[in-house]
Chains A and B, each alone.
Chain A
Amino acid sequence: MIAMQNITKSYEMGTQVVHALRGLDLNIQEGEFVAIMGPSGSGKSTLMNIIGCLDAPNSGTYTLDGIDVSHMTDDEQARIRNRRVGFVFQQFNLLSRTSALKQVALPLMYAGYGRSERMSRAAAALEAVGLGDRMDHRPDELSGGQQQRVAIARALATNPSIILADEPTGNLDTQSGEEILQIFKTLHEEKGITLIMITHDPEIAAAAERTIWIRDGVIQEEHQS
């Protein structure tokens, strides 16, 4: 479902050019649970952002479900982000001063659902991550683990086929980290969602079906578990 060939991405910092991805090839099948590992600065987040259409590569081809994403307009990419992928970030990225219910309803609003349908779907998504009793809470009234669960509910709201998670447990203690991982596992097993997760934790990576190692902007090795 995800097919990438010869993807490059570099950043210009004044006169210096940082090559974050140097001709990377990647294929991921529908329903896979893939962990991405590698040293800091190796290009993991850059890759993930390109997969999720949050960023565009400098060169190479990227097709998602057979559609060439790299040549899409901004609005078409926005629609992909809205319907097909759910993103979970290390730093949660929730709107401040906004209730959990409204956070989760946000992608549904941009998808064009009516108010009542948005609210019932958002409520269901929050129930699914175990936050049925925290719907009116704002981010500053929630623990880190709870905030990340709101973010997962938001990623799930429009029923995307892929969830992308960039170090989702990186800011959490072990206990909450394990709870979050459990939610992801359940989603994968029960709904068959494609799950791509960046992590530095070998134990979490062990839960995945495949682990991809990235170093200096290319895939260094892969192994199937």
Chain B
Amino acid sequence: MNLSESFLTALDSLIANKLRAALTMLGVIIGVAAVIALMSIGNGFSETITGEIQSFVTNLLTITTDGENSGGYLTLSNADIAALADSLNTPALADVSAMVTGNQEVVFSGNSSQTTVAGVTANYLAMNNLGEFQSGAGLTQQDLDIKARVAVLGSEAAPDLFETSYPVGQSVKINGVSYEVIGVLEESGSGFNNTDGNVFIPLTTAQSRLYSDRTRDGQKAVTIITAQAVSEEQTDAAIEQITETLRRQHDIIYAADDDFSIFSQSDLLETFDTITTTMTAFLGAIAGISLVVGGIGIMNIMLVSVTERTREIGIRKAVGALKRDILAQFLLESVFLSVLGGILGILLGWTISKVAGRLIDLNTVVSVSNVLLATGFASAVGLVFGIYPAWRAADLRPIEALRYE
């Protein structure tokens, strides 16, 4: 019997046993689709997060209070800002900015919104990638010097309060006091750590009107200091100088731990790398389980039908089929189911990945290696268990195959 006859026989047999064929194929489809969909979502997450972190300024350092060694106080103060800004202390730093934040109710003629109101130094916005304005302008050193009651709105804060009217020149009330809106920021475009809903006012104004936190020794406190190293290569030197300066500022004895923490962009990258790797591994594990479940599905169908198939082989041999006719038919059946199931699985997985991507607003990434892995595994299971009865029964005497229970 030639190959095309074997192929037609295999096809005939699949058509005659549609349910069995469909269930087997379903196993392949589920396995392949699950792997592709889940892995592509995982990849999408990592790429999005990594992309966003890399869009940050790479030589930026973030200094915050170390919660464990602070005794409940904020540890960073205005004096620290000045000390860090002094290039005698920190030659590796180009610039230093600071922020104090909290939640406040912001009101404009009846519209009110609860949002983050940040007191910032004049250079803060520019240093943190927030230097673009839709309208108006940013805070100046003079605003800080005179504790001006002016505010810059994030791109989302503005429409919340003003709806359609033009914000610049209007005044908003924060904690019952009026501030003049002097500028509205462009969208920052960063999904992670999004500050578009924030309202920014001068640091000095915020410290005297909204946030009266003090350090342990009574200095006016800030929440975060951001420092920019002169170059990426100088980041490590900058960290050292900052540490030294702040320890001196805070009178920390040699044996004691820092009461502040310094994060560099690369620390953040590493942290998020760990998170995304963990998440991808987790999704991968789920995908792996789906693959196994799909495989077990295929196995079940095959093993359940082994009796029927062995008897079928007995009948075929009794009327003259050669061993190779049997093997060719079963091999082709399995190849056909695996290939078709694989293709449908890829299509389904791809569709799920795109639909899910749209629903959770994520650019999912279907990778070739995942597609190959999933289809390879599912097809292998399909093949092995498809050929299994033929491999067992083709060597039996016809009468043994006919009597198989």
Contacts and interface: CB of A to CB of B under 8 A. Distances in A.
Nearest to A80: B320
Given A56-B397, A97-B16, A102-B12, A78 B312 contact: no
Interface residues of B, number: 25
B319 interface: yes
A97 B17 contact: yes
Main secondary structure of the interface of B (DSSP, over half): helix
Interface string A89-115: 100011111100010001101111000
Nearest to A97: B16
A86 B17 CA distance: 27
Interface in B11-66: 12, 16-17
Contact of A75 (B5, B318, B322, B398): B322
B372 interface: no
A167 to B, nearest CB: 14
B315 A94 contact: yes
Contacts of B333: none
A154 B316 CA distance: 11
Given A55-B399, A94-B315, A74 B323 contact: yes
Contacts of A96: 16, 308, 312
B1 interface: yes
B16 A93 contact: no
A154 B319 CA distance: 8
B9 A81 contact: no
A67 to B, nearest CB: 17
A161 interface: no
Contacts of B314: 93
B320 A83 contact: yes
B149 interface: no
A65 B136 CA distance: 109
Nearest to B402: A93
A78 B399 contact: no
A54 B323 contact: no
A109 B317 contact: no
A82 B319 contact: yes
Contacts of B259: none
Contacts of B5: 109
Nearest to A94: B315
B325 interface: yes
B127 interface: no
A49 interface: yes
Q: Which of B12, B318, B321, B323 neighbours the largest number of chain A CB atoms within 10 Å of its CB?
A: B318
A97 B317 CA distance: 18
A191 interface: no
Nearest to B8: A115
A75 B17 CA distance: 28
A110 B322 contact: yes
A89 B315 CA distance: 11
A106 B329 CA distance: 13
A87 interface: yes
Nearest to B401: A54
Contact of A54 (B16, B321, B399): B399
B397 A109 contact: no
Interface string A183-215: 000000000000000000000000000000000
B12 A81 contact: no
A75 B308 contact: no
Contacts of A109: 1, 5, 9
A51 to B, nearest CB: 12
A158 B320 CA distance: 10
A81 B402 contact: no
B315 A93 contact: yes
A79 B318 CA distance: 10
Interface string B386-405: 00000000000111101000
Contacts of B399: 49, 54-55
A7 B400 CA distance: 19
A36 to B, nearest CB: 17
Contacts of B319: 81-82, 87, 106-107, 110, 154
Interface string B147-184: 00000000000000000000000000000000000000
B402 A78 contact: no
Interface in B280-336: 308, 311-312, 314-323, 325
A154 B318 CA distance: 11
A203 to B, nearest CB: 28
A152 to B, nearest CB: 13
Nearest to B20: A97
A72 to B, nearest CB: 13
Greatest chain A CB density within 10 A among B1, B315, B319 is at B319
B356 to A, nearest CB: 39
Contacts of A78: 317, 320-323
A83 B321 CA distance: 11
Given A56-B397, A75-B323, A102-B12, A93 B318 contact: yes
A197 to B, nearest CB: 17
A87 B316 CA distance: 12
B318 A110 contact: no
Contacts of B318: 54, 81, 87, 93
12 contacts: A49-B399, A55-B398, A55-B399, A74-B322, A75-B323, A81-B320, A81-B398, A96-B308, A98-B16, A102-B12, A107-B319, A109-B1
Given A81-B319, A95-B16, A158-B320, 10 more contacts: A54-B399, A78-B322, A81-B318, A82-B320, A93-B318, A96-B308, A102-B12, A106-B319, A110-B1, A110-B320
- Counting from the closest, the 3 A-B pairs by CB-CB distance are A82-B320, A107-B319, A110-B320
